[in-house]
A and B are shown apart, each in its own frame.
Chain A
């Protein structure tokens, strides 16, 4: 079966701009989680969506937002980009709520803010 698909794979944006990242989970998976990964910082949890509802949210500013559609696809939006937002953004889908079953990660979107 198809894995988790994230688009785009690479993105370069200017400070102050906004960006939207997309994630298509594995078919049948209801949970989609987003993570930010920077060198030396591990996986920082952004938020989780389950059946179109945000279940959990990490400690990120309100500039980071997301949503999930009825087909489970999810988008993440970052407004007013800052240089520190440069990172690999990973999306993970799971059959049930985050942590209760294995998570399948996409290849990520590498965002560079200049």
Chain B
């Protein structure tokens, strides 16, 4: 069945370095959402991308939706310790909604 694959599983960076997580689907998606879960917390919605090739920015975070609407990425510029957490993508299509397995980001000060 349709799944959303997310890589990498873990990423350790030094504060100030950039970070990227990737999400891939085997089929075309209607939209893709991104969530962040801080340690000990619950997932919090970050953004939803709908259009092919869409790029959205939130301060140091840049979200992209692929031209074929099968992949997406989240890029963080100059990470800070407040960026620590697990980032999940979630793809939606034809009443099917799948969460990726998440990328756990650790930032060393």
Contact = CB atoms under 8 A, between A and B. Distances in A.
Contacts of B102: 42-43
Nearest to B48: A102
Contacts, number: 52
Nearest to A102: B45
Contacts of B88: 42-43
Contacts of B92: 98-100
Interface in B55-109: 88, 90-92, 95-102
B43 A43 contact: yes
24 contacts: A43-B88, A43-B102, A45-B97, A45-B98, A45-B99, A56-B95, A56-B96, A56-B97, A90-B42, A92-B43, A97-B95, A98-B92, A98-B97, A99-B30, A99-B91, A99-B92, A100-B31, A103-B35, A103-B43, A105-B35, A105-B42, A105-B43, A105-B44, A107-B41
Interface residues of B, number: 22
Given A99-B97, A108-B42, 7 more contacts: A45-B97, A98-B92, A99-B95, A100-B30, A102-B33, A103-B43, A104-B45
A106 interface: yes
Interface string A30-43: 00000100000011
A45 B4 CA distance: 13
Contacts of A105: 35, 42-44
Majority DSSP secondary structure for residues of A touching B? strand
B42 A99 contact: no
Nearest to A103: B45
Contacts of B99: 35, 42-43, 45
B80 to A, nearest CB: 23
B33 A106 contact: no
Contacts of A42: 88, 99-102
A102 B31 CA distance: 11
B45 to A, nearest CB: 4
Contacts of A97: 95
B72 to A, nearest CB: 14
